[in-house]
């Protein structure tokens, strides 16, 4: 069992952390300061890529040493990964990576796509209030600005895209007018990668990932336009396609 664990009494906790993080991710994490969101995305990507596997033991000190960041953003990121179902608490200190089947994750995404599609359809049928319209416009502004920053190689764009992506998806789900849609979705969100707005970004393939996020932003625009115009069928179809993008597009663009 590999150990990504350090102890306060360790003379050199780095020795407990095999250098499996990519140079791009290491630089990105080091630049992040207190940003738990950036550390979170790196760890999430490492789990998806298998750099952190079900046989690995993880603690704050070990990951902080691995990424050369302080323990605070690591602590917050690990808590989020636990909520997302990607890691679980060990007896005593540390976490284990949860073993999961990507086929099962794909099936769960298919169900989430149905629910998000229904939410978009319901909101299109219900109509946008001024307040909800303003929130969705703000979310689109965040992702547009994020793509501009990423085009300039500014890593803060990843965090801003995550903010806009989460705001867009959560708003449509919560404001759709059918309380059974978010109620049913809540049964899924504890599964790996199923939380609304979850973003996976591979810093080793920056340009390819920016292309993928650009497509995602375009789909947001189409969904918003369909909802605003009351086009229920288009809103539902595009949101279903978009909802499954984390799995399907990640695999497509990694080829």
Q: What is the pLDDT of residue 32?
A: 43
Per-residue tens of pLDDT for the chain, all 255 residues: 444 444 323 323 333 444 355 544 444 444 444 467 788 888 888 887 778 887 778 889 999 988 888 889 999 999 888 877 788 888 878 898 887 777 887 888 899 999 999 999 999 999 999 999 999 999 999 999 999 999 998 878 888 998 999 999 999 999 999 999 999 999 888 777 788 888 777 777 888 889 999 999 999 999 999 999 999 999 999 999 998 876 665 555 455
Q: What's the sign of the alpha-carbon dihedral 150, 42, 10, 14? A: negative
> What CATH number does domain 102-253 carry, 3.40.50.300, 3.30.110.70, 1.20.120.530, 3.30.470.10?
1.20.120.530
**Domain boundaries in the chain?**
3-97, 102-253
Whether 3-97 and 102-253 share one fold: the answer is: no
Q: What is the pLDDT of residue 5?
A: 41
Q: Considering only the top CATH level, what class is 3-97?
A: mainly alpha
Q: What is the pLDDT of residue 68?
A: 87
Q: What is the pLDDT of residue 213?
A: 93
Q: What is the pLDDT of residue 121?
A: 98
Q: What is the pLDDT of residue 247?
A: 66
């Amino acid at each position: 069992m590999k150990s990504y664990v350090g102890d306060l009494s360790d003379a050199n906790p780095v020795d407990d952390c095999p250098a499996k993080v990519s140079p791009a991710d290491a630089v990105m994490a080091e630049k992040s300061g207190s940003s738990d969101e950036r550390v979170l995305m790196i760890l999430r990507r490492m789990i998806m890529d298998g750099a952190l596997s079900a046989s690995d033991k993880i603690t704050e000190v070990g990951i902080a040493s691995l990424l050369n960041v302080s323990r605070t953003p690591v602590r917050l990121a690990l808590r989020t990964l636990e909520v997302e179902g990607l890691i679980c608490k060990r007896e005593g200190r540390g976490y284990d990576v949860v073993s999961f089947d990507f086929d099962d994750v794909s099936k769960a995404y298919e169900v989430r796509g149905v629910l998000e599609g229904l939410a978009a359809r319901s909101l299109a049928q219900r109509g946008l209030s001024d307040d909800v319209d303003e929130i969705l416009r703000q979310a689109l502004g965040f992702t547009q600005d994020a793509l501009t920053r990423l085009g300039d190689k500014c890593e803060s764009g990843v965090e801003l895209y995550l903010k806009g992506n989460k705001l867009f998806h959560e708003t449509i789900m919560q404001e759709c007018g059918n309380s059974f849609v978010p109620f049913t979705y809540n049964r899924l969100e504890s599964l790996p990668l199923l939380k609304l707005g979850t973003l996976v970004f591979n810093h080793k393939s920056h340009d390819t990932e920016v292309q993928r996020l650009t497509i995602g932003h375009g789909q947001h625009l189409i969904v918003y336009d369909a909802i605003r115009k009351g086009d229920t069928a288009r809103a539902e179809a595009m949101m279903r396609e978009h909802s499954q993008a984390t799995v399907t597009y990640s695999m497509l663009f990694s080829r």
